[in-house]
Amino acid sequence: MAAAPPESDEDRGLYRIRAVSEMTGVAAPTLRAWERRYGVPAPERTSSAYRLYSARDVALVRQVKALCDAGVSAAEAADRALRQTNEREPAPLAADADAFAAAASRIVEATRSFAPHEVEAAVQRAAMLGGAREVFERAFAPAMRAIGDLWHAGRLSIAQEHLASTLVETATRDLLRVSRPGAPTARALFACFAGEDHALGLLGVALAAQALGVRVVDLGARTPPAALADAVAALSPDFVCLSSTVPPEGAEARALVRAYADACGSTPWMVGGAGARSLRALVEKRGGSVPLAGEASIEQALADALRAARKRPRPPPSPRR
């Protein structure tokens, strides 16, 4: 029987096993073992039986690896990654590799026209294109960055930017709610620095954490250290993620970082976002970490945090939980 033609560019067999191994850091024998044992991924074969992995296969391998790095067993990781992929399979537009870019530009265009209902409709349509994390990274985040650039260039008003960011944030929180892991393997507390209104980026990280099986509690924008301390004491999270876009400076930065370190106590914590780089030295001095920028390093940072959390003796549960 002839193989069905690929549904999209993402399904086209492109990479030989060695290339995939180099791209993902997973050894070729492990890739073959995952395929044999769990059918993950199941690349197409050339007429001489060489495996040809598609972009979707490579994404699947990366997802399984991130879960394994986070301490999940290979069988469980394969099962989870496969379920997440299958969940987004029925979405008709997911087959179109450019559907996300088109959705992002529909959000931007509707914002430029100052058409609230169209912005809302464009955001809702984008939300149905695929998995939560993918929708965020490939449609919402690029749309918001483009809207920011237009605003910066004086081609959009603050009102237009606020309209778009409110609708995108609401939709992202919906995605977060519907993609909560059923049987979480860890819990994390998320919050923005005091004075920080940019809450959207951290929600994207929360989606990535949930895809790794982490139950996220997000305290949102402008979380003062005392509030974080309270939440850490009440919820005993496995780790804490803080976000800073417009970073504090000088004495304020020193005082805040010290207060967040105290609030986290022995709980591992990290600071990310566009403003985190300028806080790196202070954060590291107080025992926190600052992951490198970029999508792949977010997954890596979360996987590292999960691994570190597993090694840490857990405090006794608080009576308030």
Residue 185 interacting with ligand B12 (CB under 6 A): no
Residue 152 interacting with ligand B12 (CB under 6 A): yes
Residue 141 interacting with ligand B12 (CB under 6 A): yes
Taking the C-alpha atoms of residue 188 and residue 206, their distance in angstroms, rounded to an integer, is: 9
Least Å distance, CB 249 to ligand B12, is 11
Residue 169 interacting with ligand B12 (CB under 6 A): yes
Sign of CA dihedral 65, 267, 211, 119: negative
Least Å distance, CB 68 to ligand B12, is 20
Residue 119 interacting with ligand B12 (CB under 6 A): no
Least Å distance, CB 7 to ligand B12, is 27
Q: What's the DSSP call for residue 138?
A: I
Stretch that binds ligand B12, among 13-21, 90-98, 181-189, 271-279 (CB under 6 A): 271-279
> Contact with ligand B12 (CB under 6 A): which of 67, 81, 301, 306?
301
- Cβ distance 147 to 111 under 8 Å? yes
Residue 197 interacting with ligand B12 (CB under 6 A): yes
Closest CB to ligand B12 among 54 and 172?
172
| Alpha helix (H) residue ranges in the chain | 17-24, 28-38, 55-69, 74-88, 99-112, 116-127, 132-135, 141-152, 158-178, 200-211, 225-235, 250-264, 280-285, 295-311
Neighbours of 36 (CB within 10 A): 8
Instruction: Please provide the DSSP assignment of 12-46 as one string.
Output: S--B-HHHHHHHH---HHHHHHHHHHH--S--EE-
- Cβ distance 240 to 267 under 8 Å? yes
> Contact with ligand B12 (CB under 6 A): which of 13, 43, 130, 273?
273
Residue type, 207: L
> Contact with ligand B12 (CB under 6 A): which of 145, 180, 280, 307?
145
- Binding-site size, ligand B12 (CB under 6 A): 32
What are the φ/ψ torsions at residue 184 (nearest 5 degrees)? -60, 145
Taking the C-alpha atoms of residue 303 and residue 256, their distance in angstroms, rounded to an integer, is: 26
172 closest CA partner among 117, 223, 218, 225: 218
Residue 144 interacting with ligand B12 (CB under 6 A): yes
Neighbours of 235 (CB within 10 A): 19
Residue 299 interacting with ligand B12 (CB under 6 A): no
Residue 195 interacting with ligand B12 (CB under 6 A): yes
Closest CB to ligand B12 among 50 and 114?
114
Contact map string, positions 211 to 250, toward ligand B12, x by CB under 6 A: ------------------------------x-x-xx----
Least Å distance, CB 85 to ligand B12, is 21
> Contact with ligand B12 (CB under 6 A): which of 257, 291, 304, 306?
291
Q: What's the DSSP call for residue 316?
A: P
Residue 199 interacting with ligand B12 (CB under 6 A): yes
Residue type, 51: R
Closest CB to ligand B12 among 145 and 177?
145
Residues forming contacts to ligand B12 in the complex (CB under 6 A) are 141, 144-145, 147-148, 152, 161-162, 165, 169, 195-202, 204-205, 241, 243, 245-246, 270, 272-274, 291, 295, 298, 301
